[in-house]
Amino acid sequence: MAPHIFTDEADPLLSHKEALAYLRFRHPQTLYNLKAQGRGPRVTKVAGHSGYRMSDLMVWDLDRYLAKAASA
């Protein structure tokens, strides 16, 4: 597992597992599937390690929420 790497203290780079937990996804394949479909959150690579910035996850999750609210 990749070590915790921070892009800055206010915007940590989360591992795949941490991103799954933050987004409340149960199946580990979910983020990979969304990425393959071009619908997932942005992946960031720092020092050879891929991860998800907290801010990107927050924006992506909010976009999903607003899209659901607009269609309801």
pLDDT at 8: 62
pLDDT at 2: 47
Q: What's the chain's Rg over C-alpha atoms?
A: 13
d(CA 63, CA 66): 5
Using an 8 Å Cβ cutoff, are 41 and 60 in contact? yes
- Displacement of CA 63 from its chain's centroid (Å): 13
pLDDT at 4: 52
- Write out the chain's pLDDT in tens, 72 residues: 444 554 566 788 999 999 999 999 999 999 999 999 999 999 999 888 899 999 999 999 999 999 999 997
What's the CA dihedral at 16, 19, 20, 21 to 10 degrees?
130
